[in-house]
Amino acid sequence: MKKLINDPNEVVTEMLDGVVSAYPDAMKRLEDTTVIVRSDAPVKEKVALVSGGGSGHEPAHAGFVGQGMLDAAVAGEVFTSPTPDQVFEAIKAVDGGAGVLLVIKNYTGDVMNFEMAAELAEAEDISVDKVVVNDDVAVEDSSFTS
């Protein structure tokens, strides 16, 4: 398979900019971040939905940003969970006053970092709740599958 990579150090931001360029009416990238948000974010009095994870399966998370779907997607580096600070930036960007629901995939790094981001948000009086989704079809046989 042929990979189209200009600079390995910029692959995530270039991918995100490409997705945003394809759908500029639906989404935008927060400046100096790897966070994609709805173009109309924050939506007042709506519970915002935020998810994300490691890059490498694009458009993965960013592909779910839009009306009736996610309000924000946070992209980590390739096969690396987003940091708590990245997730916190997403939370702040989409909170319209009704709180934020974090949709967390059941991967140790994602759970840990999204929960830390929730604590940061709650310290700034942003209401946050979390749901961990438990299906990981990326791994056929592991101690995490039944």
| Per-residue pLDDT tens digits for 99-108 | 999 999 988 9
pLDDT bracket for residue 11 (50, 70, 90):
confident
Is 138 part of any domain? no
Q: Do residues 28 and 19 lie in contact, with contact meaning Cβ atoms separated by under 8 Å? A: no
pLDDT at position 2 is 78
Is 140 part of any domain? no
102: containing domain: 8-133
Section 118-124 average pLDDT: 99
Section 49-53 average pLDDT: 97
Pairing of strands 27-29, 100-105: unpaired
Among 32-36, 40-44, 59-63, where is mean pLDDT lowest? Answer: 59-63
Please tell me the distance from the alpha carbon of residue 54 to that of residue 110, in angstroms, as a whole number.
Answer: 8
Section 13-29 average pLDDT: 94
Kindly report the CATH number assigned to the domain that includes residue 68: 3.40.50.10440
**What is the number of domains present in the chain?**
1
Is 50 part of any domain? yes
Please tell me the distance from the alpha carbon of residue 14 to that of residue 131, in angstroms, as a whole number.
Answer: 30
Please tell me the distance from the alpha carbon of residue 99 to that of residue 78, in angstroms, as a whole number.
Answer: 29
- The neighbouring-strand residues paired with 51 are 73
Is 145 part of any domain? no
